[in-house]
Each structure stands twice: as structure tokens, then as C-alpha cells.
Amino acid sequence: MKKVKAAVLTGVKKMEIREFPKPEVKAEDALLKVLFCGVCGTDPHLYEGRLPVPYPIVQGHEFCGIIEEMGAKFPKKDMVGKPIKEGDRVVVLAAYNCGECYVCKYYPQRNNLCENGQVYGITIQCTNPPHLFGGFAEYVYLTPKVELYKFPDDIETETIILTDPLAVALRGLELACQPGLPWAGEGFGLTKTVIIQGLGTIGILAAAGAKTMGARKIIGIDGVEKRINMAKKFGVDEVIDISKFNSSQDIINEALRLTDGMGADLVVELAGVPVAFKQGIEMTRRGGKFIELGHFTNAGEISINPSTICFREIDITGVWAYPLSEFVTSARMLEMTKDKFPYSTLVTHKFDVLDAEKAILAATDKTCIKAVVEGK
Ligand SMILES: [Zn+2]
Ligand SMILES: [Zn+2]
């Protein structure tokens, strides 16, 4: 029987390559030959034990591949109704909801907050057959609970692998649009100014999203030259290189200088360090929007003087992943803008499944923008 290699996280900082039997595909299910699985910002946190997971797991939740085998009852359409068949290249939305909890029943537009949500590569143990519920593997076993999106063939696989991180960025930007009166200064929209704190993959993609949504001026903040140079190709107009400033106040002052002394209409925090949250509040114009996207794990605390929030009368909004519909929005934006932004160049590092652990370690290196594991 043919074996399938997978990178299994068995404990804190313990990853090993295991071989599982290539599964028999049930009528309801399908088998995906993995092309790429992106290393998410979350993956080093999982690896280092900062998010609880039910060891052992096959890690990896941002994956795409070729449908090798489809059971007779597996859905024949992708999440927007395009027909799919064996041999098609698809991106997998690796998270799914229970459909039954309080949130799923009464707040379906926030199904990202499902009380029993599952994610391939994070919440599903690999102990029992068919084992393959994560993307750092040669194959992934698909059940009808996951949604698929089929891209046209003329988009590179290095681009479509960004559907998940772009969806996270777009979730933040779309929440910033509320209440949807940009002409009255209420909510993000055409000609607004944006500051993005932190130019990792999601920060860079947030710039592309904001530009596509009509931002007038996008200011990116980071201290790593390689990221800064990359961000300029994705809509960032001005840069604040924090390695060139001595104090927090100097950085804030520069942000204010670049926004005519007012602060930006929208600030998106993607650095994931508490001091960025404190600085970002003071970079937001009075009556503006502040989106907190960077702190998906506990990075510590910072003291805030609440009067700065009152005085500035800003809206602070937290973001936790994205509702399923955002995946479609993200995929369609990639299709729309594939010739406008050099998406595939964000994939700076590639590793084989056998080196998945190296991929996770590479992702913590600031010179790496996006690392992917190839399913071979
Ligand atoms: Zn992710
Ligand atoms: Zn639910």
C-alpha cells in the first residue's frame, strides 16, 4: 500500500515526519494532492505551544492542490458554484463551522466566531484514519465540510495560496467600512488615508486591499528593508522605517506629519506587539477607525490612557480570522488584481514536506515574507 508523508506536531517544538497509508476515499469525500501549503503567522505560535492544539496534528491550514480522487457523493461544485472534477486545482478553505451553536444560528454573518469551529492543521488530531487533516503533507483528506475555490488556470499557484492571509486582511478593511458613510467621514472608503503597522504578509496584502478599495495614501510602518521594499510594490506610498527613529513619540510624530497633522482615517495594527497598539491609537485621526488585527496570541500588555480614546473619539475594532464569505471576496480580489500586484513574489521560501519544521522556523525570520511547504 502506498504511504503518504506528513509533518506531525507531537508536542511543543516537536515535529516529526510520519508515514500514513494512502486512504481509501469514501463516497462523500475526496483526496487532494497538495501543491503548496503556506506557513501562516499562527504556525510558529502553534509550534512553540502558545495556542493549545490536540496533539498529534498534521500542521498547515493554508493549502491548495489537485483533486486526485473524488467520491461519487462529494460536491461537484466549488463554493461559488463552479463545477469541479478530478484533476482540478483548488484552494481549500480549511476552517468550518458547526452550523448549530448560538453564533452559527443567530449571528451567521460572524460564523468565524463559531463555538465549535474546526480548522484543518490546527484542531483535528491525526491519530485515527484517514489521518490526513493538515496541509504539511503530500495529501489531504477532504470531507464535504470544507469549501473549495477553483481559480482560472492563468493564475499562478504561488498567488492563489495567498487567499487565506488576504481574507484576514480584507476582513479588517471591510469592518473599517462601517457604517458606510465615507462622504461624511464615517468609515473607510474612497480617498481615505491608511496607516498599516507591520509589513509582514498580511500587512502587505492589506496595503493591496486598501489600494484596491480606493485609499488615497497608504503609509506602511516596519523596520525591515526587504519587507519595506516589497510593500512599495503593493500600494504602500510612504514608509516609516522604525529602525531610523529613536523614540515611540518620534514615530507617532512622523505619522502625523505624513497625514497633515491629523492622523490617518484608518490605522490597521498588524505588528502584533502591544506598543504598536498604543502608538496606533495616537496615529488615528479624531473620529477615525483603528483595526486591531495583529494580536492573535497573547503578546503581553501595555498601559493605555483611556482619555486618548475619548479625546480622539475613535472606533477600535478587533478581528478574529474571517467569516467564510470573506474567502470568496479574497479569491475574487486575487483574480481581479493578479496583474496589478506581483503576488507570487511574496513567496520567498519553499520547502519540501520533509523540511516542514525548517519552513516554520524560516517564517519567524524577518527576511522571509511567505514560506510555503510543497506537497512532495
Ligand atoms: Zn492562516
Ligand atoms: Zn457554530
Which ligand is closest to the CA of 114, given by its number? 2
Upstream peptide bond of 83 is cis (omega within 30 degrees of 0): no
Torsional class of 83: left (φ above 0), alpha (ψ -120 to 50), beta (otherwise): beta
Ligand 1: centre distance to CA 327 (Å) = 12
What is the residue whose three cell numbers read 523540511? 355
Which ligand is closest to the CA of 101, given by its number? 2
Distances from the Cα of 74 to the Cα of 105, 209, 325, angstroms = 25, 33, 21
Ligand 2: centre distance to CA 328 (Å) = 20
C-beta atoms surrounding 67 within 10 Å: 20
The reported pLDDT for the residue numbered 183 is 94
The reported pLDDT for the residue numbered 366 is 82
Which ligand is closest to the CA of 323, given by its number? 2
Record the cell numbers describing residue 289, joined without a space: 477607525
Give me the helix-helix angle, 201-212 and 163-176, nearest 10°: 50
The reported pLDDT for the residue numbered 365 is 87
Tens-place pLDDT, residues 159-173: 999 999 999 999 999
The rounded distance, in Å, linking the Cα atoms of 246 and 374 is 41
Which percentage of the chain shows pLDDT scores above 70? 100
The rounded distance, in Å, linking the Cα atoms of 94 and 167 is 13
How confident is residue 1, by pLDDT bands cut at 50, 70 and 90? confident
Region 142-149: what's the mean pLDDT?
Answer: 97
Which ligand is closest to the CA of 60, given by its number? 1
Q: Tell me the residue ranges of DSSP E strands in the chain.
A: 3-11, 14-21, 30-38, 57-58, 62-70, 89-93, 95-96, 118-119, 139-142, 147-149, 193-197, 217-222, 238-241, 264-269, 284-292, 315-318, 347-352, 370-374
Instruction: Characterize the bridge pairing of strands 217-222 and 89-93.
Output: unpaired
How confident is residue 297, by pLDDT bands cut at 50, 70 and 90? confident
Which ligand is closest to the CA of 113, given by its number? 2
The rounded distance, in Å, linking the Cα atoms of 247 and 136 is 41
Ligand 2: centre distance to CA 42 (Å) = 22
Tens-place pLDDT, residues 44-85: 999 999 888 999 999 999 999 999 999 999 999 999 999 999
Torsion of CA 46, 52, 58, 63, to 10 degrees: -60
In sequence order, the β-bridge partners of residue 284 are 264
Which ligand is closest to the CA of 370, given by its number? 1
Tens-place pLDDT, residues 365-375: 888 999 999 99
The reported pLDDT for the residue numbered 367 is 82
Ligand 2: centre distance to CA 324 (Å) = 12
pLDDT above 90 (res 376)? no
Tens-place pLDDT, residues 179-194: 999 999 999 999 999 9
Ligand 2: centre distance to CA 13 (Å) = 30
Region 97-109: what's the mean pLDDT?
Answer: 95
Residue of 159, 341, 339 whose CA lies nearest to 234: 341
Name the average pLDDT for the chain.
Answer: 97
